[in-house]
Amino acid sequence: MRIKWFSFVRIAGLTSVLTYHFFKNAYPGGFIGVDIFFTFSGFLITALMIDEFAKNGSFKLLSFYRRRFYRIVPPLILSVLIVVPLTYLVSPDYIVGLGKQIAAAIGFTTNYFEIATGGSYESKFIPHLFVHTWSLAVEMHFYITWGLIIAIFTFLIRHFEHNRLKGQRVFRWIIGITSLCFAGASSYLMMIQSAGLTDYSKVYFSTLTHCFPFFIGATLASLTGIKDVTNVFNKMLQHANKWVYTFAIVLTFSFLFLLGLKLQFSSRSTYTGGILVASILSALSILFARCLHAATPNVAEPKLATFIADISYSMYLYHWPLFVIFSKLTSVPIAVLLTLLVGVPCSALSYYVIEPYVAGKKLKWHVNTKVAKTLKISFASALTCLVAVSLYTVNGAPSLTSLDRSLWIGGINQSVDQMQTTKNIVLASTTGNSNKEKNIPKGVSIIGDSVTLGTRSYLGQHVTDSSIDAKGERTMNLAYQVLMTEQKNGILRRNVVICIGTNALDGTNEELMKIIHDIQPGHHLILMTPYDQRAAPDWNSSKLAIFERELPHKYNYITIADWQKVAAAHPDVFAGTDGVHFGGRHSGDVIYAQTINQGLKNAAKTPLK
């Protein structure tokens, strides 16, 4: 039994996700499209379970798993095989760890793989091509667990309640109460585990914290249904008014759209209620669509809507890797167009041909025996070629991105330099001269984070007489410790450049003031403003840049090297990156060093502290 207007729920979810991935800055909360899908899946699967129990008095777990396998796995494998050859169009960085990505996707563990590797839609230098399959992992975990629980419920009811009608009512009550408890526990877990985080990927990707939309949908299914409906809901359907429910659906979708404009991936409010509200609104849209179906017995659902709903799952599989690849080759609008031109036909082929063929069902379109045989041979040949290309690509995939290699090399060089510095300190101490008796050494001390570390080799060659101490994820308080140690050991040079702020935490301004207060007389202090292409005005890094620009008016020995302004004027340097690192690109190295040198040039015109 196909429910009309459910297609629009699927379309709302797909549109939201695609818009978020294509135009993230314009629609920052579009990730709630996944929660629309989750809620709908929870409702649909549970309602079908209830229908099966009402019809047969049982629930066949293996048959349920088999249906889920044929619906999910073949399109997933096909999408992987089609995408992998396209990676030859872009940098080898995009196939780093490809074998692990594919294994995680097909093994339905992408969500925990991304947690373990620090992956995210929001902050990844080179985004994983299959990061979007995290949602399939959560969905599969739900199907496996929920199917097993339902099988246990039906087994117990069949053995302890012999009245079939009463058993069906008990079954609904158990499902409703259990679903509500699971939904409450999961949403509460997301709320409490999001406390104190700066990167929310852990609670976003985790099955335990993000499964509650499924159970909200399941709760709705226990109260309503598809074929087998409750008495209360049946009376509601009998009095359904198509105009009332049409308006209700439009209103609900409007609220979801506004919520997508409001929510931010990096805001805790998203995890303390935002996603929960999105899931409840999704459940309401499902309820209203079910009622509208009953109110419009003689109205057909638009064929275009049915088509988009049919291919929505496959399109979800294709859109992200295709867009990642195409957006590195051309502008975003053209990349979107290419993604749709390739993704839609592949999705239609998957749903109408490949999936029925693999499942042993009749094709959606009738073809004669000769044509069917030709199609089978062609499909087998193409599949063999795709598998061969994929295996070859996985085998040759590099283990590190250009950024990782740059940071690794920078870290090695820095360790060597620090060993030499330590040697000099020890030798100086054996001469009997204390550091305090020596003049402040000339030159430049650069204290930075991962951005500085990535360009360390170039900086050492192009910033005269410089020493560089940089480390990934360094915050201002850690930079203060480095500065104090160098100052204590008498190796802090006359010009001190602080390249910190991308990882700005609450209290960063206060930590910077400690540096300003505790740096000894005889130094210039050059502050490199942080740059993050994604940063909104209310981000700590943005606030820090504003704060730093005000300091030269109060302290005449402070100079600004405005990296934020320079970097924003060179967006090409950050094309295809996380918007913070430029991954050892020569053009990035050049403008980064130029910015520091300009700051040093300006500092030379100001007095020492």
**CATH code of the domain covering residue 595:** 3.40.50.1110
**Number of domains forming the structure of the chain:** 2
Reported as type and span, the H/E element at residue 499 is strand 495-499
**For residue 150, is it within any domain?**
yes
**For residue 532, is it within any domain?**
yes
DSSP-based three-state secondary structure for 375: helix
Determine contact, residues 83/318, Cβ cutoff 8 Å.
Answer: yes
Number of H helices, E strands in the chain: 25, 5
- Do residues 184 and 217 both lie within one domain? yes
Nearest CA among 609, 577, 392 for reference residue 492: 609
Sheet of 558-561: strand order equals 466-470, 444-448, 495-499, 524-528, 558-561
A 10 A CB-CB count for 316 gives: 26
Confidence at residue 305, expressed as pLDDT on a 0 to 100 scale: 95
Describe the crossing of helices 508-518 and 476-488 by its angle, rounded to 10 degrees: 10
- How is residue 229 annotated by DSSP? -
- Do residues 192 and 271 both lie within one domain? yes
Kindly state the tokens that stand for 124. 């990844």
**For residue 440, is it within any domain?**
yes
- Do residues 466 and 529 both lie within one domain? yes
- Do residues 407 and 376 both lie within one domain? no
**For residue 182, is it within any domain?**
yes
Nearest CA among 569, 562, 552, 572 for reference residue 595: 562
- Do residues 414 and 284 both lie within one domain? no
Mean pLDDT of the residues in the chain: 88
**For residue 1, is it within any domain?**
no
- Do residues 383 and 436 both lie within one domain? no
Cα distance between residue 446 and residue 460, in whole Å? 10
Determine contact, residues 319/343, Cβ cutoff 8 Å.
Answer: yes
- Do residues 109 and 28 both lie within one domain? yes
Determine contact, residues 67/41, Cβ cutoff 8 Å.
Answer: no
- Do residues 193 and 330 both lie within one domain? yes
Q: How far does CA 490 lie from the centroid of its chain?
A: 45
Q: Is 0.85 surpassed by the pTM of this model?
A: no
Last residue of a domain, one of 341, 371, 395: 395
Last residue of a domain, one of 395, 425, 460: 395
**For residue 63, is it within any domain?**
yes
With 0-12 / 13-18 / 19 or more C-beta atoms within 10 angstroms meaning exposed / middle / buried, residue 416 is exposed
With 0-12 / 13-18 / 19 or more C-beta atoms within 10 angstroms meaning exposed / middle / buried, residue 465 is exposed
Cα distance between residue 443 and residue 441, in whole Å? 7
Confidence at residue 160, expressed as pLDDT on a 0 to 100 scale: 82
Domain region containing 389: 6-395
**For residue 13, is it within any domain?**
yes
CB contact burial 532-556 (16+ within 10 A = b; e otherwise): bebbeeebbbbbbbebbeebbeeee
Confidence at residue 410, expressed as pLDDT on a 0 to 100 scale: 58
Last residue of a domain, one of 395, 411, 443: 395
Over the chain (609 residues), what is each successive 10-residue block's mean pLDDT? 91 96 91 97 97 93 95 94 93 84 95 83 69 96 97 90 83 96 97 88 95 98 94 90 95 97 92 97 97 93 95 96 91 94 94 82 67 77 91 84 60 61 54 53 91 86 90 87 90 93 83 94 94 81 92 95 93 79 82 95 94
Confidence at residue 40, expressed as pLDDT on a 0 to 100 scale: 98
Cα distance between residue 94 and residue 99, in whole Å? 12
